């Protein structure tokens, strides 16, 4: 199974910033899971800290963002059908601000990454940055949040601090 996980990672949206050694380290945190049509992948409470990579099938992803101070907010839904697409941001966002849910529309096969098992802080930071950028792109694509480069930079700084705090624990 490890061979399938590393192959999936190499062909995913997570691959570009990672070296081969880093891809292997991330792959060691993964497994392949299958979901029947209609099965919840990320539950309605949105509290899931794993990262998912679509291998095959069709997944419906919904992102809910609460409005804060009149800025950004709303809901966007996406049909994920392209192998290598990544989702799952529960580890990086405040659940009272942003939640994502996902369900298999058809039978789906996913790589599930539990990054709590990744011991390399530098690799974790690279994956974290990539996932935050992917979330930001989804929010913009769905019309939930307008482009705000300053906000993204602040978010990235906050991400560094959160990761350092979790790694130290």
Using pLDDT thresholds of 50, 70 and 90, give the confidence band for residue 9: very high
State the helix-helix crossing angle for 121-141 and 149-168, rounded to 10 degrees: 150
> What's the total number of domains in the chain?
1
> Mean pLDDT, to the nearest integer, of 111-123?
92
CATH number (domain holding residue 43)? 2.60.120.10
Which structural domain, as residue segments, surrounds residue 163?
2-168
Indicate whether 160 pLDDT > 70. Answer: no
Greatest alpha-carbon pair distance for the chain in Å reads: 47
Indicate whether 147 pLDDT > 60. Answer: no
Are residues 49 and 121 in contact, defined by beta-carbon separation less than 8 angstroms? no
For the entire predicted model, the pTM comes to: 0.83
Indicate whether 70 pLDDT > 90. Answer: no
């Amino acid at each position: 199974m490890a061979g399938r996980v590393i192959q999936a990672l190499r062909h995913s949206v997570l691959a570009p910033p990672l070296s081969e050694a880093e891809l292997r380290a991330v792959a060691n945190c993964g497994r392949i899971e299958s979901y029947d049509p209609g099965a919840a992948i990320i539950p309605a409470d949105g509290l899931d800290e794993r990262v998912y990579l679509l291998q095959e099938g069709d997944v419906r992803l919904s992102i809910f963002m609460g409005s804060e101070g009149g800025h950004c907010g709303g809901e966007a839904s996406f049909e994920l059908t392209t192998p290598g697409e990544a989702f799952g941001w529960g580890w990086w966002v405040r659940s009272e601000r942003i939640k994502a849910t996902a369900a298999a529309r058809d039978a789906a096969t996913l790589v599930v990454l539990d990054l709590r098992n990744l011991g390399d802080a530098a690799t974790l930071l690279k994956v974290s940055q990539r996932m935050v950028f992917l979330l930001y792109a989804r929010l913009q694509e769905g019309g939930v949040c307008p482009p705000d480069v300053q906000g993204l930079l602040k978010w990235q700084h906050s991400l560094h601090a959160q990761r350092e705090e979790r790694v130290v624990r």
